[in-house]
């Protein structure tokens, strides 16, 4: 900042005499002080006009408070929601002694004199942070933060006779801060969500009070990276970046461009309704007269506790507190409280279509084909009924059936060979001796539609070891749980035999035209991570079956995360049962075909 020649001369002369006084006689020391006092008086007279001018300051707040729902207070996370969402947050933060005497003055004697005659330039700041943002495509986020200092107290920075204390600041009790615009994205995310890499860029618009420690005199901004490792039970996040800001000064302290960094560990508890965190963050000044000095290199630690307030975990309260770890310009103590929430931008459950009240209006006397069956009951209203079995009253003539097995030739796979009616595939029109082709005759096969191995155990001859097709149900029961590597979607080798039996079942039952593979997790970890993990695990099973030779058109996969538990997640046994993969038949070419599946004799699905 600009300084008058008298102010400059006074400061230089004072420092020179102070230097020469070390080791000199008392007479010379007193003489030097007399000269300094005289010069100071002249300088004060010459600089009266300038001393009344207001000096430009800088934004003092070192807390880049996270705005997104998954962020920490001082560290941002490369985590995005599964669905597009809008979020908002309001926080109050109190910092004590964020800018002290030793920051603005280098000379120790000046510091002591300033402590007696004035005090810390900024003693306390109470700041409100109001933010709003949105996330889309599971990878892109944008947010805006507006800080407003509601209470600010401090002491004069310009005191006559104190070497270096020449820059006056008129501290405003209430002052706006610089509006912060941020865009962020997830660049890399592994299939199981364990590793993530994100990038962000921000701009600080100069809307704050640049003469009262709440704003910069020009536009500031920066770019950064964040990486995260998510073990579900523990999350480790590191972010770093550069912050570009205009150079400003108060007395001996000058700001410049900075390198910022932060490290955080988070511990999700009780189905992610509670999240505890510990963070360390700071900066190192890279440019200007004070680059890489202790005063310009603050480091802080902070503990936080985040608590959800509703069943959907869309509202939360976050409390935090911490202290500085270095002499740099960070508060002696910092604490605060944040309240936030979010909602999806896409309707999760679209409303059902309205019922057509006109669907049942008809003429109940009309009979176009004159077969005595009104058109509204006649399946063939333009072709007369022939009254032949097995459906003499449906309004349609009996279709040709050359083998007289009751299955029309149009649906009979063996139109010249009668169906044997043995309870196995009795609707396809063909007799069969070994429907599942496991070399065990149907007459002796306890599971005639499920390929298996010979067994002397009652009820298990010809049955698979790990799966059962439940009679009268679309479910394929899994007797041994499909297993994956911990926290990942990689199939363990122990699961191959289970999926091989599913493969043989599909080969033996071509009428199964669509099989749904569904993944489920327990409640350990975040909702988003569990949902993603369940989807990826189900897809891993589907990919395995496709590689074995099953057509992709016969398979589909889906994940439900922790939303459909079988048991309570409050116990280890319940959580183990909830971590499961299920197989459901969604479509069959022949309704009711494939009867003959074994009745369930094992544990519940997923055990």
Q: Domain segments of the chain: what residues?
A: 1-53, 60-344, 433-607
Pick 453 or 490 by higher pLDDT.
490
Pick 523 or 442 by higher pLDDT.
523
Question: Once rounded to an integer, what is the mean pLDDT over residues 270-282?
Answer: 93
What is the model's pLDDT at position 444? 79
Beta bridge partners of 186: 198
Pick 401 or 85 by higher pLDDT.
85
The region of weakest confidence among 107-111, 160-164, 272-276, 425-429 is 425-429
Residue 172 has phi, psi (to 5 degrees) of -85, 135
Helix axes 5-21, 26-46, angle to 10 degrees: 170
Pick 475 or 583 by higher pLDDT.
583
Q: Domain spanning 60-344: which CATH class is it, in words?
A: mainly beta
Contact 497, 479 (CB under 8 A): no
What is the model's pLDDT at position 464? 86
What is the model's pLDDT at position 600? 37
- Number of Cβ atoms within 10 Å of the Cβ of 387: 12
What is the model's pLDDT at position 590? 56
Among 515, 507, 519, 585, which Cα is nearest to 556's? 515
The region of weakest confidence among 16-20, 240-244, 261-265, 560-564 is 16-20
* CATH code given to domain 433-607: 3.30.1330.60
Hey, what are 6's tokens?
């008298």
Rounded to whole angstroms, the maximal C-alpha distance in the chain is: 137
What is the model's pLDDT at position 418? 79
Question: Once rounded to an integer, what is the mean pLDDT over residues 550-561?
Answer: 94
Whole-angstrom Cα Rg for the chain: 39
Query: pLDDT tier at 589 (50, 70, 90 boundaries)?
Result: confident
pLDDT in tens, 438-466: 888 877 777 877 888 888 788 778 888 88
Query: pLDDT tier at 225 (50, 70, 90 boundaries)?
Result: very high
Q: Decide if pLDDT at 521 tops 60.
A: yes
Q: Decide if pLDDT at 226 tops 60.
A: yes
What is the model's pLDDT at position 347? 66
Calculate the average pLDDT of the chain.
83
Q: Decide if pLDDT at 288 tops 60.
A: yes
**Residues 6 or more apart whose Cβ sits within 8 Å of residue 297:** 282, 283, 284, 285, 326, 328
Query: pLDDT tier at 487 (50, 70, 90 boundaries)?
Result: confident
Hey, what are 388's tokens?
């032949």
Q: Which pTM does this prediction carry?
A: 0.56
The region of weakest confidence among 261-275, 304-318, 404-418, 483-497 is 404-418
Percent pLDDT > 70 in the chain is: 84
Q: What is the DSSP string of 272-292?
A: TTEEEEEEEEEEEE-SSTTTT
**Residues 6 or more apart whose Cβ sits within 8 Å of residue 565:** 520, 522, 523, 574, 578
Contact 484, 425 (CB under 8 A): no
What is the model's pLDDT at position 599? 36
Query: pLDDT tier at 91 (50, 70, 90 boundaries)?
Result: very high
What is the model's pLDDT at position 22? 40
What is the model's pLDDT at position 153? 95
The region of weakest confidence among 216-220, 267-271, 592-596 is 592-596
What is the model's pLDDT at position 17? 38
pLDDT in tens, 304-337: 999 999 988 999 999 999 999 999 889 999 999 9
Percent pLDDT > 90 in the chain is: 51
What is the model's pLDDT at position 109? 92
Cis amide bond preceding 390, omega within 30: yes
Q: Decide if pLDDT at 126 tops 80.
A: yes
Torsion of CA 268, 271, 274, 275, to 10 degrees: 20
Question: Once rounded to an integer, what is the mean pLDDT over residues 224-238?
Answer: 95
Hey, what are 606's tokens?
């997923």
pLDDT in tens, 40-77: 433 333 333 333 445 689 999 888 888 899 999 999 99
What is the model's pLDDT at position 250? 92
Question: CA of 520: how far to CAs of 120, 321, 466, 559, in Å?
Answer: 57, 37, 19, 6
Contact 367, 374 (CB under 8 A): yes
554/575 Cα distance (integer angstroms): 31
What is the model's pLDDT at position 15? 41
pLDDT in tens, 146-157: 999 999 999 999
Q: Decide if pLDDT at 195 tops 90.
A: yes
What is the model's pLDDT at position 155? 93
């Amino acid at each position: 900042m600009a300084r008058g020649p008298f102010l400059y001369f006074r400061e230089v002369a004072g420092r020179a005499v102070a230097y020469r006084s070390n080791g000199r006689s008392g007479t010379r020391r007193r003489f030097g002080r007399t000269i300094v006092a005289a010069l100071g008086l002249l300088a004060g007279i010459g600089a009266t006009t300038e001393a009344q001018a207001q000096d430009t300051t800088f934004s003092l707040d070192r807390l880049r408070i996270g705005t997104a729902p998954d962020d920490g207070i001082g560290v941002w996370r490369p985590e995005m929601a599964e669905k597009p969402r809008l979020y908002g947050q309001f926080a109050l933060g109190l910092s004590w002694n964020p800018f002290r005497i030793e920051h603005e003055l280098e000379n120790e004697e000046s510091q002591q004199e300033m402590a007696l005659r004035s005090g810390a330039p900024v003693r306390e700041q109470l700041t409100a942070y109001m933010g709003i943002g949105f996330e889309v495509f599971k990878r892109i986020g944008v947010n805006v933060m507006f800080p407003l200092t509601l209470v600010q107290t401090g002491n004069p920075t310009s005191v006559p006779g104190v070497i270096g204390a020449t820059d006056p600041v008129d501290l405003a009790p209430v002052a706006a801060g610089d509006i912060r615009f941020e865009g962020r994205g997830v660049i890399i995310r592994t299939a199981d969500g364990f590793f993530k890499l994100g990038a962000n860029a921000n701009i600080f618009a100069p809307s704050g009070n640049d003469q009262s420690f709440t704003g910069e005199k020009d536009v500031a901004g920066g770019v950064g990276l964040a990486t995260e490792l998510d073990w579900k039970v523990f999350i480790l996040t590191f972010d770093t970046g550069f912050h570009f800001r205009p150079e400003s000064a108060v007395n001996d302290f000058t700001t410049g461009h900075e390198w910022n960094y932060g490290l955080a560990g988070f511990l999700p508890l009780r189905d992610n309704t509670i999240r505890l965190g510990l963070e360390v963050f700071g900066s190192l000044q890279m440019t200007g007269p004070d680059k890489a000095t202790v005063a310009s290199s603050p480091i802080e630690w902070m503990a936080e506790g985040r608590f959800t307030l509703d069943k959907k975990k869309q509202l939360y309260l976050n409390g935090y507190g911490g202290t500085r770890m270095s002499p740099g310009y960070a508060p002696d103590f910092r604490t605060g409280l944040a309240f936030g929430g979010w909602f999806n931008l896409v309707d999760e459950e679209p409303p059902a279509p309205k019922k057509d009240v006109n669907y049942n209006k008809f003429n109940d006397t009309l009979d176009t084909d004159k077969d005595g069956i009104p058109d509204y009951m006649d399946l063939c209203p333009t072709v007369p009924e022939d009254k032949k079995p097995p459906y003499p009253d449906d309004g349609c003539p009996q279709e040709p059936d050359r083998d007289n097995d009751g299955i029309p030739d149009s649906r009979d796979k063996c139109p010249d060979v009668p169906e044997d009616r043995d309870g196995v595939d009795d609707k396809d029109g063909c007799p069969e001796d070994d429907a599942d082709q496991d070399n065990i005759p149907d007459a002796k096969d306890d599971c005639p539609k499920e390929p298996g191995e010979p067994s002397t155990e009652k009820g298990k001859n010809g049955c698979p070891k790990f799966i059962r097709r439940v009679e009268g149900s679309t479910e394929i029961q899994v007797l041994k749980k499909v297993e994956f590597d911990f926290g990942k979607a990689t199939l363990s080798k122990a699961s191959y035999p289970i999926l091989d039996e599913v493969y043989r079942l599909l080969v033996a039952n071509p009428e199964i035209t669509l099989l749904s593979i569904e993944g489920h997790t327990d409640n350990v970890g975040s909702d988003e991570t569990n949902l993603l993990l369940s989807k990826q695990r189900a897809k891993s099973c589907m990919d395995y079956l496709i590689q074995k030779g099953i057509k992709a058109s016969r398979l589909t996969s889906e994940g439900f995360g922790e939303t459909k538990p079988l048991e309570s997640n409050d116990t280890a046994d319940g959580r183990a049962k909830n971590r499961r993969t299920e197989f459901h038949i969604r479509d069959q070419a022949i309704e009711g075909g494939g009867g003959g599946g074994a009745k369930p004799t094992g544990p519940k699905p997923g055990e």
